[in-house]
Chains A and B, each alone.
Chain A
Amino acid sequence: MMMPSMTMRNNPTLRILFRNSWTLGVWLLLGALVLWYSTLIPVFGPFQITSITKNSLPLVYLAIGQAIIVIAGGIDLSLGALLLLSNVIAARFMAGQPLPAVVLIALGIIAGLALLNALVGFIITLSGVPDIVVTLATGYIWSGLALWILPSPGGGTAPEMRWLFTGSPSGVGGSYWPPLLMLLIPAALVAIWSRNTQVGLSLYAVGSHKTAAQLAGLNVRQAKIVAYGIGGAMAGLAGLAMVALTGTGDPRFAIGANATLNSVAAVVLGGVALTGGVGNVFGVVATGVILIMLNPILIAMRVDSNNAQVIQGVLIAGVMMFGGLVAFLRERRS
């Protein structure tokens, strides 16, 4: 009956800020980290901006895809493997091709992976097997497929691809506009789509309360399939970004597994509850960049790379413990 504060209830702007306080918080954190980083190194300029942005692209894409799936009440442990698949297909078939063919291949990869993962979503709704189990299994299948397509690291891509994701045809230096736009445009599209369309909202509905969504006449199965399809498309995009960054394809299982786990970490830190239905894509974009930025910051602080890994782990666990504590205190107060 009683709301925590009446001002919050009556003032729409305040309410929106309050409801998105976590998203706001992670963006402020990102801003603070960038500022801090700029004082840590002698020169902070376009080169660093380009570098941070382009290096974050694969994880950010993957995390956006994961966020959409988690919001719809699922979780996809095969996203990393799909990234591998996209990466090796691009590396194997793009090198030396004319621009139209490259574009066609890129679009084909995105559409193909979207369909493939939509099929996985369909299998999940059909079989009644938990998402985590199905995607665990399909993760094996996709990494096997990736290994089959490109048995050892190699291949290449077109300069135009590299320019699109890194700002330079050679992948070194270059303008920060292309990667920055490639970061923000897909993120904004997915974020706006998910909060402002009937289908987008139905993902939240299904993740928040599946039974209620069904009883209200929503198509639960369709929502899940769409979510997985988007996840697949984002993984395809992530694989393309990867090939643009490194200039080659790499089918190693561990890369995929790590990417998956990082995407889950980014999603959770970004304020998307693993139970579904809560959070938004914007927060995840910030945490994706933060996770990538930790590396250069720790290097700039001359922290050993193994310790950097420890710090990253402690940070994730620490933030989540803090979140748990806040939730606990809030629950006790109300």
Chain B
Amino acid sequence: MSSESRVVQGRAGNARSFQRWAAENPLAVLAAVFVVLFLATSAIQPGFFSVSGVRNTLLQAAPLGILAAAQTVLMLTGGIDLSVTMIATGAAYVAANQSPGGAAIAILMGLLVGLIVGSVNGVGVAIFRVNPLIMTLAMSSILLGLFTAWTQTVLAGSTQVAPFIRLLGGGSWMGSVPYSVLVWGGVAIVLIWLLRRSGWGRLIYAIGDNETAARLAGVRVWQVRLSAYMLSGVLSAIAGILLAGRTGAVDLQLAGAFLLPSVAAAVIGGTSIFGGVGGYSGTIIGALILSVLNSLLTFLNVGQAIQQMVYGSIVLALAWGYAGLTRRS
């Protein structure tokens, strides 16, 4: 295993040691994929290779990255949340409706929507042990119905969000760093700290890896699970408010297109859908890859049909590649 013998082994040895390195650092490989995609986009759209190109990519990626954060936490526990986009839309609606009363109230009410819906999901999954796929799917359907009805009644007022929310979603700090990216950064730091350095993070991984073991060790699994769904609701609400801020107004299709990408970003980033393995740093790169891919396909101007096909193929290829890399080790 000495470095000397590696040199002697020559080319095949180099390939193998690269493979081993890649298997141990899958995130670096993902980052490289991102860079390649970014350069490819720049080659097609020369203006893209610039500060504003980077800024745009980050701006696009922020809401997706936050929705994918919700998905990552739940996937680590062995769950999933198909209602993230409806929670986001609902929170945005409430925030818009409350906007005449000031941005602070609007944001708080929006987050409250996320917390409430997340709690209901959590109660269903953690206490009544409903399969998360079904629970959140049903929740999504409930929310869609409720908010469609409410837009004509209790939420009939404002569909415009407060100026501060618009600034948060679309504005930039000192004209260069988008506020939404700062929010995303804050979410990322907190979440990575929680997952890596807190007892809660340990428990999230533990219940996802082996729920019975966690239970026997005295972990109150339902509390951990409930808290994860609550957090997921709040994160989705944050993403919804940012999205509303970016577009300035809300509608029922606000976040719909982000559902599958939010799962895909976490998966590409190496979080196992069965729980216990992964982390948020991978998801961040996953979200960046997907948003730069979006830009690339938009610049290519190939039409929606080809876009969807390429998008699907690349998600599959990346997930496959990741699985191949990490399985070898």
Decide whether A and B are members of one complex: yes
A residues sitting closer than 8 Å to B (CB atoms) are: 75, 123, 127-130, 132-134, 136-148, 151, 253-254, 261, 264-265, 268, 274, 304, 306-314, 316-317, 320-321, 323-325, 327-328
- B residues 39-70 touching A (CB-CB < 8 Å): none
Given contacts A143-B308, A253-B308, A307-B149, contact A136 B315 (CB under 8 A): yes
Verify B145–A133 contact, CB threshold 8 A: no
16 cross-chain CB contacts under 8 A: A127-B323, A129-B319, A129-B323, A133-B263, A134-B319, A142-B312, A144-B306, A147-B304, A148-B309, A274-B134, A308-B145, A309-B145, A310-B146, A313-B141, A314-B142, A325-B128
B residues sitting closer than 8 Å to A (CB atoms) are: 82, 124, 128-131, 133-135, 137-146, 148-149, 256, 260, 263-264, 267, 272-274, 303-313, 315-316, 319-320, 323-324, 327
Q: How far is the CA of A309 from the CA of B311 in the complex (A)?
A: 31
8 other contacts beyond A129-B323, A134-B319, with CB at 8 A cut-off? A128-B327, A129-B316, A137-B316, A139-B260, A144-B305, A147-B308, A313-B145, A317-B134
Chain B residues, CB < 8 A from A151 = 305
- Min C-beta distance of B295 to chain A, whole Å: 17
Can you list the 7 inter-chain pairs with the closest CB atoms, starting with the nearest?
A: A140-B312, A144-B308, A309-B145, A313-B142, A144-B309, A313-B141, A310-B145
Chain A residues, CB < 8 A from B137 = 261, 264-265, 316
Q: How far is the CA of A142 from the CA of B312 in the complex (A)?
A: 9
Verify A264–B319 contact, CB threshold 8 A: no
Chain A residues, CB < 8 A from B310 = 144
Q: Which residue of B lies closest to A310 (CB)?
A: B145
Q: Which residue of A lies closest to B274 (CB)?
A: A130
Q: Which residue of A lies closest to B260 (CB)?
A: A136
Verify A140–B260 contact, CB threshold 8 A: yes
Q: How far is the CA of A313 from the CA of B134 in the complex (A)?
A: 10
- Min C-beta distance of B156 to chain A, whole Å: 14
Contact among A123, A130, A139, A264 with B312 in the assembled complex (CB-CB below 8 Å): A139
Q: Which of A123, A141, A311 has the most CB of B within 10 A?
A: A141
Chain B residues, CB < 8 A from A143 = 308
Q: Which residue of B lies closest to A327 (CB)?
A: B129
Q: How far is the CA of A141 from the CA of B142 in the complex (A)?
A: 28
Q: How far is the CA of A252 from the CA of B305 in the complex (A)?
A: 11
Contact among A129, A313, A317 with B130 in the assembled complex (CB-CB below 8 Å): A317
Secondary structure at chain A's binding surface: helix, strand, loop or mixed? helix
Q: How far is the CA of A130 from the CA of B75 in the complex (A)?
A: 13
Chain A residues, CB < 8 A from B315 = 133, 136-137, 140
The number of residue pairs between A and B whose CB atoms lie closer than 8 Å in the complex comes to 150
Given contacts A308-B145, A310-B145, contact A137 B312 (CB under 8 A): yes
Verify B316–A138 contact, CB threshold 8 A: yes
Verify A133–B319 contact, CB threshold 8 A: yes
Q: How far is the CA of A310 from the CA of B143 in the complex (A)?
A: 7
Q: Which residue of B lies closest to A251 (CB)?
A: B305
- Min C-beta distance of A223 to chain B, whole Å: 20
Verify B273–A130 contact, CB threshold 8 A: yes
Q: Which residue of B lies closest to A140 (CB)?
A: B312
- Min C-beta distance of A82 to chain B, whole Å: 13
Verify A133–B124 contact, CB threshold 8 A: no
Q: How far is the CA of A316 from the CA of B142 in the complex (A)?
A: 10
Verify B327–A316 contact, CB threshold 8 A: no
Contact among B135, B146, B149, B256 with A317 in the assembled complex (CB-CB below 8 Å): B135
Q: Which of A75, A143, A148, A310 has the most CB of B within 10 A?
A: A310
Chain A residues, CB < 8 A from B306 = 144, 148
Chain A residues, CB < 8 A from B138 = 265, 313-314, 316-317, 320
Verify A317–B312 contact, CB threshold 8 A: no
Q: Which residue of A lies closest to B137 (CB)?
A: A261
Verify A140–B309 contact, CB threshold 8 A: yes
Verify B320–A148 contact, CB threshold 8 A: no
- Min C-beta distance of A169 to chain B, whole Å: 32
Chain B residues, CB < 8 A from A317 = 124, 130, 134-135, 138-139, 142
Chain A residues, CB < 8 A from B149 = 304, 306-307, 310
Chain A residues, CB < 8 A from B272 = 130
Chain B residues, CB < 8 A from A139 = 260, 312
